[in-house]
Chain A
């Protein structure tokens, strides 16, 4: 029997798949600090990234790591870091600078339960931190939320592409389960993300060239406001990059809105509901920023109610409510601190909503 072996198809942990994808995306450098549940990214790169291709540096802290990313990105190189929730909090100062300086880079948060030191189990409680800026000042990150090991790998390419297109840091917001679980993954091919030579990079003032200075300060508030206006114009352009996935929305009575791991669980909820003859649609935001506001607004006029499911106390639900703008009832179900709901548990919540709806009728 002839078994053909495809080197690009592997069984891997989400963290490993992401790290391998980063190598294939031809990054020039990775700067990071160990933290569970994402340390495999640093470990995998330390073992598998060739010295000739770039640098892997274990920094003394997340603060140092993000500032190394700042410097390296400022010199026009393709660089990244990864961390988990408490580490992300430490990086926010540097991320605000990177966003203000309009530098592209890849950030990864394999998030865990919080607040504080929290747990090492999965959580989506960093939604606000990721999508509303996080650090000081008016800035946004491009945020992609994978829901499989496959997407942990694919979104490395997508995030770097978007980061470089818009000169803006891009974040992959994952969680402890997606980072740790193993699945079959088809790894992206090397060479599909061409490198460019940025004209703005600080890499030596050569002859006949204006000097490049990467700065984020201004004494004059007019200058600072203009920088802010420029950023806001960029974020307006970014809205065209919105991505989401729709599932069984035709004739849906109830629409579930969930991202990442929650969306994965909710696709099982759809199956249970189908058996009980309840038609449930699923909208999964893939980009959390930009957010699929228009898509949700449209669907809110067709369904009887919306249920938002998250691994937090209710964060994305605020954006959903803004999109729905009172057109239909919006319900929320969430677990916190690293607890993950079963499909059955969510189905019970869903049933409560449908029962209420029929009473009202």
Chain B
């Protein structure tokens, strides 16, 4: 939203003496997002900034952005950030956190970034129990490069590099990264959420909040997978993509907490 539009809306509220009940988070910048219409990234970016606002930690948080659709997320997040090489965001975040243990640190990566080229960094970051939040946005496709097959692409799913549908024979099975890393001792809190419905957005916000609280207590790695959509990459309307997500992705990657802290 540009400044002009925002001030116009606020002034309209003032004129009509209406109560302002909702506004965008302060740490979300005024820059228009480049994400495609209907894409989940915008919602996830916003929710993350809401938590940062509410916890009042803008001055003590650093994020590691990925290569992929979220490469430019630093434009929208009014916080200090580092744009990482492809797949390496969790290593970059580790570097920041290890020499600044008092900072809140998060990495934000897509499925190609985290579960293909960055698999090694992902597993070892969690295995060391780095005190960071790892956000994993899974939309089962490489969005930025134009819709190629991802490690999480479903069997039979058509992409530009699996034009006849992904086959096990050629490409193996979709990887369930979140289940895999939940088995590691360094993982403290592991959950899978989705943002195609309002209650999902609220649950994600809660999970992010909890993760930062755990981080403050040096509990270990918090890992949140967000099942998201890619209307452009999937060749669907935003509404159709949300339906497809619910019918196909969620059965394969069921929502809910996978590893929760054991209460003492």
Q: CA A68 – CA B82 in complex, angstroms?
A: 12
Main SS at interface, chain B:
helix
Q: How far is the CA of A245 from the CA of B94 in the complex (A)?
A: 41
Whether the pair A74, B120 counts as a contact (CB closer than 8 A) is no
Neighbouring A residues of B92 by C-beta, 8 Å: 67-68, 70-71, 74
Q: Which residue of A lies closest to B67 (CB)?
A: A217
The docked-state distance in angstroms from the alpha carbon of A81 to that of B43 is 38
On whether A70 and B95 interact (CB within 8 A), knowing A75-B62, A215-B74, the answer reads yes
Q: Contact string, B7-44, partner A, CB cutoff 8 A, digits 1/0?
A: 00000000000000000000000000000000000000
Chain B: how many interface residues by the 8 Å CB criterion? 32
Instruction: Write out the residue numbers on chain B whose beta carbons fall within 8 Å of the beta carbon of A158.
Output: none
Stretch among B83-91, B151-159, B169-177 lining the A interface? B83-91
Distance of A88 from chain B, by nearest CB (Å): 16
* A31 interfacial by beta-carbon distance below 8 Å: yes
- The reply to whether A70 and B82 contact each other, CB–CB distance below 8 Å, is yes
Given contacts A67-B88, A70-B95, A204-B59, contact A214 B103 (CB under 8 A): no
Interface check A151, CB cutoff 8 A: no
Q: For residue A77, give the distance in angstroms from its CB to the closest CB of chain B.
A: 4
Contact with B along A88-105 (1 / 0, CB 8 A): 000001100100000000
On chain A, the residues within 8 Å of B59 by CB distance are 204-207
Determine whether the beta carbon of A68 is less than 8 Å from that of B80: no
B93 beta carbon closer than 8 Å to chain A? yes
In the docked arrangement, what's the CA distance between A54 and B94, Å?
A: 14
Q: CB within 8 Å of A: which of B48-99?
A: 58-62, 64, 71, 74, 78-85, 88, 91-99
A51-105 interface with B by 8 A CB criterion: 54-55, 57, 59-61, 63-65, 67-75, 77, 79, 93-94, 97
Q: Are A31 and B95 in contact (CB under 8 A)?
A: yes
Q: State the CA gap A203–B74 with chains docked (Å).
A: 14
**Across the interface, which residues of A come within 8 angstroms of B99, CB to CB?**
28-29, 54-55, 72, 75, 77, 79
Given contacts A63-B88, A68-B92, A79-B99, contact A74 B121 (CB under 8 A): no
Q: Of the candidates A206, A213, A216, which one forms a contact with B81 in the assembled complex, judged by CB atoms under 8 Å apart?
A: A213
B107 CB → nearest A CB, Å: 10
Q: Does A182 contact B (CB under 8 A)?
A: no
**B91 — which chain A residues lie within 8 A by C-beta?**
59, 63-65, 67-68, 70-71
B160 contacts partner chain A, Cβ-Cβ < 8 Å = no
Across the interface, A74 reaches (CB within 8 A) one of B74, B96, B123, B124, namely B96
List which A12-49 residues lie within 8 A (CB) of chain B.
28-29, 31
16 more CB-based (< 8 A) A-B contacts, given A71-B94, A202-B62: A57-B94, A61-B120, A67-B85, A68-B91, A68-B94, A70-B85, A70-B95, A71-B92, A72-B99, A74-B82, A75-B62, A203-B103, A211-B79, A213-B74, A213-B82, A214-B82
Chain B interface (Cβ < 8 Å from any Cβ of A): 58-62, 64, 71, 74, 78-85, 88, 91-100, 103, 120-121, 123-124
Some 17 contacts from A to B, beta carbons below 8 A apart, are A29-B99, A57-B98, A63-B88, A63-B91, A63-B120, A63-B121, A64-B88, A70-B91, A73-B95, A74-B96, A203-B80, A204-B60, A204-B80, A205-B58, A205-B79, A214-B83, A215-B82
